Structure 1
Amino acid sequence: MEALIIILTITMLGVTLLPLLPSNHWLCRVWEFPRVQIAVITICLLVASFYVTSPIIQIVLVITNGLITIYQLVWIFPYTRLYPIQVPKAQKSSQTHSIKILTSNVLMPNHSAEKLITLVSLHQPDVIVTLETDDWWQGAMQPIHADYPHRVNQPLDNLYGMHLYSKYALEDVEVRNLIEDDVPSIHCYLLLRNELKIKCHFLHPAPPSPTENTRSTPRDRELLLIAREVADKTEPTIVTGDLNDVAWSPTTRAFRRISGLKDPRIGRGMFNTFHADYPFLRWPLDHIFHSEHFTLETIQRMPSINSDHFPLLSELVYEEN
């Protein structure tokens, strides 16, 4: 048992240190994701260390696991209810000043479109962005077309298809491959009923992984490119999608710092949307960021639609100064 505690402690120390290396390889960057899980494991190891018989080894294990736990908790602390909220709760909400957005990575081989359509019917979002949607999904979502007359279709069979459905009119629509070919993003203005124009960016960069990009460079470049684009803008802005990055990663923190956009989850919770099938292996991959023009009415993780991601429903309220 003591040998197992030592081995696990060394392992947790290794995966904690790997993201500190100056490398964008997925083997290093992937350990930015499970900080909650690493903290839970090291807390258990910390308790188990008190049962080690050798006083010297016990001290080393207690200190090591204690420091790892503290280090990991510092990263995730802003996404707990103990931290001050960054985005105020909406004090007023009118249909002319609020926007409800549903973001859903559907998992392309998943054909449970009726589950997503049911969620749409129940919650009536103003805007829906679907990710990993191909021609099959484009056809399957036709039942909602009457309610969402403004659409952008970008079906692909490479897991990076994207569709946008809106009750509001769209203006200056662009479909851009920002960094990689066949990895599109949608950029447009939403025209609300009171003629308020909101700039929106819908993203789904490729993740660092052994089966896709072995390095995080394309994802990081795409996120920081959008951050720099919106940094000097004074217009109401929303960025949402499956960013294939966790909320507390250095890249996402740099995105918020450069862009000046706010994260409504800070002080409210993690809203882990991935992986839907494994409760212990979940982290926040689906995001919504917005400019200071908005307060938050609600943010919710939706029930499963048989994808590996849960949909994310957010309602923002535009606050006139």
Structure 2
Amino acid sequence: MSTAESSTEKPAIQLRDLALSYGETPILRGVTLDLARGRTLALLGPSGCGKTTLLRLLAGLLFPTRGSVSIDGRQMADAATGSFVPPERRRLGMVFQDYALWPHMSVAGNVAFPLEMAGIGRTEIDRRVKMALDRVGLTDLAARIPGDLSGGQQQRVAIARAIVGEPKLVLFDEPLSNLDRELRESLAVDLAQLLSDLSMSAVYVTHDQGEAFTIADEVAVMQRGRIIQLSDPQSLVEAPANAAVAEFLKLGTVVEAERQGGDWALAGTGIRLAMGSEGPADANRARVMLGRKALRVCPDDRAQASGQVVRALFRGDFYALSVALGDGAERVEVETVSELRRTVGDRVGLSIEPAGLRWFPAN
């Protein structure tokens, strides 16, 4: 059997109708997905969406209320039969938010620890530890203790420890959230390259879409215990499945729209958004995402709408603007950019590009 055939028959992860409840309270609501071997899946969503619960079910730290978990073709848990493989027998690597390093052990000692627990010989341990530290760029710090290292270096030790045993799957639980943004972005790039170089299967929990897009091949956006879209990062941005995904990813402003005289307009304002043929058919109301590419600051004589600048942030070579359209209860704020300096209180004209709009059902 070829490697390609084996990979097809044995995905890194296979979840079927996976659910977990605490009493009458559902936490995870029927998740089904496959992850091919050698790929990274990011679980992305706000606090309480179920992403950490899903990770713990994969790790064997929780037992499902319903459904099954398989890793590398081997069933790890099945609620219907009661079968369960404990964490230490799942051949997993784990990287935590708080590093979870032994403070009294050297860097090399921390990385070697899981191999020692597995009863591997000293010569093989030394070889694997050196290889793991080489991969994360910490060979010269092998004799140091964690307290002498920076936060980023400590997290690299944790990553080396997770990969040293050549696991079937590595689980990351918001591992970079304790680091400052610049270091977080740098380490995310390094981690993405490492996972790619090792062709390692991984699941990465985060609430930061920048991390998810940098590290993952596939991103599962979660909400209230469900996956509401599972796509590659580019598809998420270009084709959000629904308004909830668009709003969570901050791809633009989602507003209510209604038919007025055969065309589509911003509800309650009369501001025309698109011709009737450009919006959804057979509906009188809808929701529409006004992304930055859908709106252009323009002279008043070419404007389809005008509004007041309520926020202006200089971004180096452009201004990011929030512009209020409409009045009273129907007033909405939309986002756009301007190459010219604008200040709060300025009135600006906007042209609307129908091709840049993304339409969703009203409900």
Question: Structure 1-normalised TM-score?
Answer: 0.27
Quick one: higher RCO (CA 8 Å, sep 6+), 1 or 2? 1
Which structure has greater strand proportion?
Answer: 2
Structure showing greater Rg: 2
Question: Structure 2-normalised TM-score?
Answer: 0.25
